[in-house]
Structure 1
């Protein structure tokens, strides 16, 4: 395969911070372009979460963006955009088509049929997520998983647990290439003080998409039983689950210590990560939690559920509680609020540990080797 590659990517909504897939695609594509490869990202049509000025931007840091027809109805946006992205990448002049997530992988046969080298990244076992447990969406995603196994030249997985799942279920070998993280500059509290009254170490932070499998219900319930003057900040957008957002706000009613910020990015995001006393991710289900990597890179003490996808990341450098066990979460939260020396110890170790373990340059190098078929 030639030295500089022409690559198509799809499966993301757009180049943004809406979710883990979007962050991964942005990191991979921009870094590959800096190395001299040509990358085209096939994005969904529709409003960009970062604002109208980003809606139809043709280029992002050298990455070519194409916007494909998208049926803006629940359950059809991903299917329709993935089909047209697969079609575009099949007929386009590309060496490699890199598909992100199980649903979009349903169409992996299309670029394969036109002689493209097809790589699929499994960001998580998506049919296990609450919103895809039944109906057409569930069938589509399950078939996408099977099509990835059948048609992809290589499958990338982000955790050892998912690697074992593909081996046990399909006898299919996969490549373990976890995500990376950048070392950020820690920011002083300014915007978050002006807007939310938050100061250094005055709050416990959850930051991510507000979806049921992230365990936010448990978090709100547990926090309401913790004796502390530290606020609970829940930062993130609702991601097609407005009813879930309403449920969370109903749960939090009457507790003025709980703050919902909505979707955050840029300086506000940096400040929230930089000034938290504790970051928590109480998920029931994860692919590879990028927000956890980011939180640790800012030097946060983290409290996470003991699912393998979180435990693999943090090793012994964070606090763990038993998944979905509210009582255990209450105890661990209360402990963290009372034992400041323990929290400082984890804070002190977090950034060096995580930035040494997960590096985007390594991820890009291994991914490009896979594109070329290097063993």
Structure 2
């Protein structure tokens, strides 16, 4: 029986939609890939304990950890406590610290499970930061915690550093100081201002070319401490330029949720590994596609991954920083959580037409794992908006 429902569109018209997607079957065991693939994972709020959802949102730790098991079962590494987990947009350092502690402990119960943990400066409010030393001490606290818990760090971009730095040299001073102390290799994090407007001019310049020179200088200064760099500028040409100029042994991780398919496939000479928020939302498809790629089945890789790209571009459309709402929406539709609420009420950041578009694109990309459940839950959401 064909599943149907009525969905609103941007013209203010409600139209009939019939589902046509085919869910992706889960693998019997975690597959292996020929690309390093980190899925940046979201957190699940706990609406029954949410007394201060904006200031101190409650987290459902059981559901949050269960989702990480879902990702590990599909072969992914996890990028923990990153911006997909609403760092600085609902989840503060205290919440992230507990998330990191629990996830690292949970990973030890799963053979082969791996993760890297976001370490930044979000306990230091940008308006309070005064000096580079303030930023250094904030980074030291977070990276020190991650390493003390037995983890590896992703050195997240810092709003506080963006505020106090006055030159590219200031960035080199901070990064060189921190990287000289780390026990493990670190993944650097180049997050564009479309993801966080407070990061405008990061690396000391609004010019990509000048910022790139600063990044490369930091990496060359600390080649033995840098595993790679995640670049999230939503511009494949800029990522390719960075990729071809990285020193031998330093990896490029795409964070480009618009162009990831072609960047992961590569150009025959170079390719990008992945550290992506969209992998949270399309995990079964991405896992299957990467399995094909590992076998050299390029056309099958494209056939599976390319239908997810229009969905990702919708989820990450401007204002891009609100993409987390679409990621959690799909987790709810697919039964990974029992509700559609988010820390800080982030679900309100997008409108019902946006969610209707995501629903259709997810179906067309074969991303609705449980179509009947997804239809029932979408109808419930439409009713909340007075559309049923």
Q: What TM-score results when the alignment is normalised by the length of structure 2?
A: 0.33
